[in-house]
Amino acid sequence: MAAGRKERKSVAVFLAANTGNDIRYEKLIHHVAAMFAKNGWNLVYGGSARGLMGTLGKAASALGVDVHGVKPRPFLKYEETGELPTFGHHELVDDLYTQKKRIAELTDAFIILPGGFGTLEEYTAVRMWSKLGVWRRPIVLLNFEGFYTPLLDWITKAKSLDFVSENSVAVVSVVNSVGEIDALLSNPATVVENDDHFDWSVLVPGHVDSWQSDFEKSLVDIADQVSLQHSLTVHWSTWHTWDYYTRVNPGVTEANVRIWKDIAPFSTCVGMTYQVAKNLGAALRAAPSLARGLERLRTVACPASADSTQPYHCVTGVFMDSYCIVIDPVFSVKAFTVPYNGSFETLPYITTSGRTQQRCFRYFARPSGDKVLTMEKVGSVDAAVQFSDIDHNTALQQISMRAARNTRIGSKVPSKKVVVVRSLMDEKPTKIASTPLNAEFVVTACRVQIDFGERILTMQIPSNDWLFKPENKRYLLRLQHSPMYTPVNDAVLNLVIALKSLSNDGIALDQLLLMGEIGERLGLARGEILRIADSLWPEKHHVHYP
């Protein structure tokens, strides 16, 4: 690879959503899948399990290719199952334009294979976007068995009549075989440098930051400061609220803001929202030019699912006419702007089970004219949930207190609890999501899950970005010989202690001390892991375990 150039990571493929009646085209798709596997490219495509698209997605996934599908929501009904494919990673978007835009953001090059009207539309769109300067990434048209010869003849005719220019024609490379695609896109000379910024203003003038008013920029800056300060000083924890309401102060029945001081530096979304709204309100009052923002400052909550009315998650929002600024320290370190009739996706995170999850926020108007904020899981077919106004006392009682006293169905055993700790890294992580802050990077340093039913304590920590670093070699050596060590993927690993299965208290204590030492390095206070583990020992806890 030439110096200064990046390796190609992802390639988008546009092709038919039908299988057709010629077996040669299906065989072609398997050759394309093999090319992706050989080169280690990620596949980005239209997100269908049908036709040649589905054949490519399944074949590539079976060969170990990372498959990322982007599916327009209205087209989901055409899938046989009515759901997203089960192979690879898939996400839903609102429409065809957003689909192509999202695919473009994910990819380093485009391949056009045989297809129908949809493929033709995608081909003309990406070549026009390239001609207009939206990007400079390679576009390759495969004229397999002369499939696109009539189209190429039309282009030649149009060029001869000066309807299209030579430069316009040169935007697309035409090849006749998969081998030629391989040779072309494997050539370092075709990897475009510094092409990470798309000039969408050519297509949608309001898309780029230049439209953003000074008022909004100032509002976002202040919201960012409040959000960052909070994210670095407060850790999200459902265990600490459970501990407070069931062990420290079990007799409390009324909402009282004192809890957030008593369990600091831990909190839940309710406590975070309370403090963020308070701090943001104070900051806006101190800036008279931003008084309009103060008038639109609201605390809102959403249910866990669209068929529920029970509040579940809280955020702080500044609901302006053309955008909504959201502060949600649980899912985002920084404040973010959701444009009206637009969306915003938070950074992905990895659960202790190894699943990657992400949230998408949307801001739009209902038929009644009321503007609403919604949230959904990226890649999920579950309906979005809508946020509604809520006051702190109601949120405290209906979300935090209710969750703290919630037990597993048919049992007195508490439901699982989680503690999430963020901290700063000096170097930009390569495997886990991060947010730049000055010369450092904010990351989720560790995630602790407390499973009362199974009496299992799990701590998720970064592997490549922390444990495998030379300065942490002593921890790696100790963990590799420990039954706690549980690899998850190339980004994180779990440290797992099954307390009910340990007959020797000394062994359990040794493991807990090591977990606690690592937790302390990653931002947990000294002794916190032992305190959490104490709640799992049945002989030390008032809850009766079956």
pLDDT band at residue 247 using 50, 70 and 90 as cut-offs: confident
Task: Give me the pLDDT at residue 501, please.
Answer: 58
Task: Give me the pLDDT at residue 210, please.
Answer: 39
Least confident of 210-214, 384-388, 496-500: 210-214
User: What is the domain partition of the chain in residue ranges?
Assistant: 10-186, 214-399, 416-536
CATH number corresponding to 10-186? 3.40.50.450
pLDDT surpasses 60 at 533: yes
Least confident of 291-300, 353-362, 501-510: 501-510
pLDDT surpasses 60 at 483: yes
Q: How far apart are CA 44 and CA 9, in angstroms?
A: 10
pLDDT surpasses 60 at 3: no
Region 284-302: what's the mean pLDDT? 90
pLDDT band at residue 465 using 50, 70 and 90 as cut-offs: very high
Q: Report in angstroms the alpha-carbon separations of 132 from 136, 162, 209, 358.
A: 10, 18, 19, 32
pLDDT digits (tens, 9 = 90+) for 146-203: 999 999 999 999 988 888 877 778 788 899 999 999 888 887 666 554 455 455 544 5
pLDDT digits (tens, 9 = 90+) for 63-102: 999 999 988 888 887 887 777 888 888 888 777 887 888 8
Q: How far apart are CA 462 and CA 235, in angstroms?
A: 17
Sign of the Cα pseudo-torsion (310, 315, 316, 320, in order): negative
pTM, two decimals, is: 0.62
Task: Give me the pLDDT at residue 188, please.
Answer: 66
Task: Give me the pLDDT at residue 541, please.
Answer: 41
pLDDT digits (tens, 9 = 90+) for 371-385: 899 999 988 888 999
pLDDT digits (tens, 9 = 90+) for 22-34: 999 999 999 999 9
Most confident option among 135-144, 186-195, 438-447: 438-447
Sign of the Cα pseudo-torsion (87, 448, 382, 373, in order): negative
Task: Give me the pLDDT at residue 5, please.
Answer: 36
Region 403-419: what's the mean pLDDT? 85
With b meaning 16 or more CB within 10 Å and e meaning fewer, what string describes 355-384? eeebbbbbbbeeeeeebbbbbbebbbbeeb
Torsions phi, psi of 218, nearest 5? -65, -40
pLDDT digits (tens, 9 = 90+) for 188-208: 666 554 455 455 544 544 443
Residue of higher predicted confidence among 475 and 126:
475
Q: How far apart are CA 331 and CA 380, in angstroms?
A: 17
pLDDT digits (tens, 9 = 90+) for 13-63: 999 989 889 999 999 999 999 999 999 999 999 988 889 999 999 999 999
Query: What value does the mean pLDDT of the chain take?
Result: 86
β-pairing verdict for 42-45 and 67-72: parallel
For residues 347 and 433, the answer to whether their CB atoms sit within 8 Å is: yes
Token readout for 318 is: 């500044």
Least confident of 4-18, 252-266, 323-337, 433-447: 4-18
Task: Give me the pLDDT at residue 93, please.
Answer: 78
Region 421-432: what's the mean pLDDT? 93
For residues 432 and 467, the answer to whether their CB atoms sit within 8 Å is: no
Question: In this prediction, what percent of the chain has a pLDDT beyond 90?
Answer: 53
Within a 10 A sphere around the Cβ of 118, how many other Cβ atoms?
Answer: 17
Contacts of 79 (CB under 8 A, 6+ apart): 48, 49, 50, 85
Task: Give me the pLDDT at residue 134, please.
Answer: 67
Q: Where are the alpha helices (DSSP H) in 92-170?
A: 96-106, 117-131, 149-160, 166-169
Region 270-276: what's the mean pLDDT? 95
SS3 state of residue 437: strand
First to last CA, the chain: 61
pLDDT digits (tens, 9 = 90+) for 213-233: 678 888 999 999 999 989 889
Task: Give me the pLDDT at residue 6, please.
Answer: 47
Task: Give me the pLDDT at residue 305, please.
Answer: 94
Q: How far apart are CA 87 and CA 50, in angstroms?
A: 13
